Amino acid sequence: MKLKAGIIGLGGFSKIILKSLERSRIVEVVAAADIRQEMRLEADETFNISNIYDRAEDIFSDSSIQIVIIATPPFLHAQLGKKAMEAGKHVFFEKPGSITLEQMQELKQLSQKKGVVATVDFVMRRNPLYLILKNLFTTQVFGLPERVFLENYAHDDTLPADHWFWDPDKSGGIWVEHGVHFIDLVQWLIGQPSTVQAIKINRDRYNLIDRVAGTAVHNSTLVSYYHGFTKPEVFEKTNFYAVFERAYVQLNGWIPIEMEIDALMTSDMGKYLTDDLLKEARRYLCSIDTVLEMRQLKKFGE
């Protein structure tokens, strides 16, 4: 029997979640709620959801629902999450879990008190390529990680000036609403930062912060982040680079599907790259494989 879930918020993120859960053998979405009538009508036409409400309270009070999915603008996440947990529901938060650290700590304490599971939609941790990269950081087979940098050139086609995304009181700002994916990814790969510096840049003629950049030190690894919302969607780009003592690693795309590793290696490392390195990743994508190209480097002057 499938677990029954209700989703609150029927905007863009909910469509991604609902589409992915259509194939789930574990979870069935049986209810949805949104204050906007047009969103409720669209969801009714698009998805097979038994009950669609105009109040989140109707989901909290439904005893058959075990999981509440929260996909509203971020400033509502904490208060809705608390109500769901108070009602004894497990909670799946679209990122971010909240817009302040204090709210997250309260949610964590409440989930423990109520004995319910709460999690945030940090999808990067389950990308098979990032699982491979995690192995490289953990084993340090190519030496110590020296440098990591992330460049995210995102689009703003669907973000007019009055969109909640630009209001830090509603979204938390670019770092919290958007950059949190990559902050979480790097902390999962390397660990918590000890030093952080960051800047924000306003768009000309508008009171909108559309670019942010930061530098942090994670366990002696220097990490740089950049996020900008200035591109048309067809021209956006995301690159993730990691530099080890004996390897350069590059992944391209918001959800990367290819990784390139340029490394100094010994002749007996082939099995590691074509087998051992892929074991964890194959739990999520059994067809993932490597193409190994080897060349012999000559000493200078030979």
CATH number, domain containing residue 63: 3.40.50.720
Residues 6+ apart with CB under 8 A from 215: 196, 197, 198, 222, 223, 224, 225
Count of residues making up the chain: 302
pLDDT of residue 297: 64
Check whether residue 117 and residue 128 sit in a common domain.
Answer: no
86 within some domain: yes
Check whether residue 74 and residue 141 sit in a common domain.
Answer: no
Question: What angle (nearest 5°) sits at the alpha carbon of residue 214, between those of residues 211 and 215?
Answer: 160
Q: How many domains does the chain have?
A: 2
69 within some domain: yes
297 within some domain: no
Check whether residue 102 and residue 10 sit in a common domain.
Answer: yes
229 within some domain: yes
294 within some domain: no
Average pLDDT per run of 10 along the chain, which is 302 residues long?
96 95 95 97 95 98 98 98 98 97 98 98 92 93 96 94 94 96 96 96 85 97 97 96 97 92 82 78 79 67 59
C-beta of residue 281 within 8 angstroms of C-beta of residue 129:
yes
Tell me how far the alpha carbon of residue 158 is from its chain's centroid.
Answer: 20
Check whether residue 84 and residue 230 sit in a common domain.
Answer: no
pLDDT of residue 301: 59
Cα(108)–Cα(92) distance, integer angstroms? 13
Domain span at residue 91?
Answer: 3-121
pLDDT of residue 284: 77
278 within some domain: yes
231 within some domain: yes
177-204 CB burial, b ≥16 within 10 A, e <16: bbbbbbbbbbeebbeebeeeeeeeeebe
pLDDT of residue 298: 64
